[in-house]
Amino acid sequence: MPSTYFTHAEAKSKLGKKVRTKVSFYQLPRGTIGMVTDMYNMGNLYGLNISWGDITDGFSKDDFEEFLEEV
C-alpha cells in the first residue's frame, strides 16, 4: 500500500514539536524523545524529518502515526 503524506498545513504545524518513539528502531529504544526539524516535499504533499541527536530520519504520515507520538 502506498504511503500517505501530510498537507502543507499539517506538516508545518508539527515543526518544532517533540515526539516519542512507540517502538524501538535503528539504534533508538522505545520511548526516545526526538524533534520534528524539517518537512520535505513529496509532490503536493509533505513528509517530516525527525531528529534524535546524531540520527535524523524522514517519516510519511502513516509511519509517523504508527511509530511516533507527540509529547
Retrieve residue 65's grid coordinates. 502515526
What's the confidence (pLDDT) of residue 2?
A: 80
14 band by pLDDT with thresholds 50, 70 and 90: very high
Question: What is the pTM assigned to this prediction?
Answer: 0.92
- Report the alpha-carbon angle 62-14-1, nearest 5: 10
41 band by pLDDT with thresholds 50, 70 and 90: very high
- What is the dihedral sign for C-alpha 55, 29, 10, 63? positive
pLDDT above 80 (res 1): no
Retrieve residue 35's grid coordinates. 524533534
Cα separation, 22 vs 66, in Å, equals 8
What's the confidence (pLDDT) of residue 53?
A: 92
Cα torsion through 5, 18, 52, 36, rounded to 10: 40
Report the pLDDT averaged over residues 21-45: 95
Domain ranges of the chain: 8-70
Report the pLDDT averaged over residues 41-69: 96
Other beta carbons within 10 angstroms of residue 50's beta carbon come to: 25
